[in-house]
Amino acid sequence: MQPPSQSWALMLLLGLCAARTDPERRRNVLLIVADDGGFESGVYNNTAINTPNLDALAQRSLTFRNAFTSVSSCSPSRASILTGLPQHQNGMYGLHQDVHHFNSFDSVRSLPLLLSKAGIRTGIIGKKHVGPEAVYPFDFAYTEENGSVLQVGRNITRIKLLVQKFFHSQDERPFFLYIAFHDPHRCGHSQPQYGAFCEKFGNGETGMGWIPDWKPQYYNPDKVQVPYFVQDTPAARADLAAQYTTIGRMDQGIGLILEELRTAGFHNSTLVIYTSDNGIPFPSGRTNLYWSGTAEPLLISSPEYPARWGQISNSYTSLLDLTPTILDWFSVPYPSYSLFGKRVVQLTGKSLLPALLLEPSWATVFASQSLHEVTMHYPMRAVQQGPLRLIHNLQNRTAFPIDQDFYVSPTFQDLLNRTQAGLPTHWNKTLHSYYYRERWELYDHATDPTESHNLAFDPQYAHVLAELWGLLLKWQWETDDPWVCVPDGVLEDKPSPKCRPLHNEL
């Protein structure tokens, strides 16, 4: 963690002393995470969708415009959020459930583990999607591990009642409550009867069940805002319209949760954070390290520091920063320990609390992806410094993999069908260019916000590529990345960690 400024440290110390002596000012955290959520909200200038509760939260928050996940995959991202460590360092290389069966390393010290040991009550409602239990323990837990993920992650009435239960059973300890929505994740692969995005679940129609607190909103596909990385076709527009309906359900759920926070009397002592785990499940979104796959919404609302409520931060932040931020809020130190007898684990993220007072100059974020589903080994590493983004595709000679969930989606099937029929796709890429990528991709968002022109082989950008590659390698070594030598060499640890060349002509 980067140390805050001296002035910030003094203010924080005074605030902490007051919090410890005044029970009504005891500090708490409410972390709300969307599932495959994006910028479909009024907060981020989407005027086609109605999200009054997120919009209202933004009025009491600092809104980050350059926040990024460190990995564009569900379980790895959640593990990174809850540990402050990238997926290659915490061990959650891919999805946790079923045959994928990835887990974080047994000795990783997660956020809920550290908070519990510090006397802070921990709770989770919704999609957990990480393991093992010993690494991610919660005092209060209603997840897919002990119930239906549809009920704890999409049924906003059920979520509201569970939040009530948590608050009504709250003792004298501060609390960390993690609400992990399953909305607006696709469900065409797992529960197709409810629609592509489970937009019919709980709408009151025959066989769909009924969520009492939800007032479904339906959208005209002709009126949705099509992101630049999605093809503009009737099928994709209808897909986006279904996504909007599901986002609306989550937004109403957020409103219910915040009302319960207020009713319980915790609204003036609770740091509220809203974000998402990875990019939206559309082309170039989830499982990609492009801007469209890693850029995330991020709202942070502090009742103690209203100076920047309603303002926008353009500083570059990572979801790896959330663990340092929450530890900083609670004044809980990060422990000294190592993994596999290697160097002492250091958080490479920073506390975001200083940004609630003054705009910082943060400009660099990193990303690391290895798998999604167990069959999808396509390791990538990336660094963004200001407008410049470098992506290293470590095994670019193989085709970029497509996950089961996205494959059956109306949007991807539309791309397949149009490509096979030789029809215009109305997309900014071709399937061939999407599958087969250059080893290095370099984009300048200042002149190319849609990442359409790869500058990696432009001689004028050779020094930029070299500088960014150096930054990326430094971060990989600092975080003990097992893939640091791929694809040109083999990592040998003894006598000291070093890349040994393969001479494999890559």
Strands 175-180 and 28-34: parallel
User: Which DSSP string do the residues of 413-446 spell out, in sequence order?
Assistant: HHHHHHHHHT----SSS-HHHHHS--SEEEEETT
The per-residue b/e assignment along 72-103, b for 16 or more CB within 10 angstroms, e otherwise, is bbbbbbbbbbbbbbbbbbbbbbbbbbeebebb
Residue 338's CB is within 10 A of a number of other CB atoms, namely: 11
Whether the Cβ atoms of residue 120 and residue 178 lie closer than 8 Å to each other: no
Question: Tokens for 418?
Answer: 């149009």
74, 187, 198, 485: which is the annotated catalytic residue? 74
Whether the Cβ atoms of residue 347 and residue 1 lie closer than 8 Å to each other: yes
Whether omega before 184 lies within 30 degrees of 0, making that bond cis, reads: yes
**Would the CA dihedral through 283, 284, 288, 292 be positive or negative?**
negative
Question: Tokens for 246?
Answer: 């599901």
**Would the CA dihedral through 333, 7, 81, 246 be positive or negative?**
positive
Q: Is 74 a catalytic residue?
A: yes
- The size of the chain, in residues, is 506
User: Which residues are tagged catalytic?
Assistant: 74
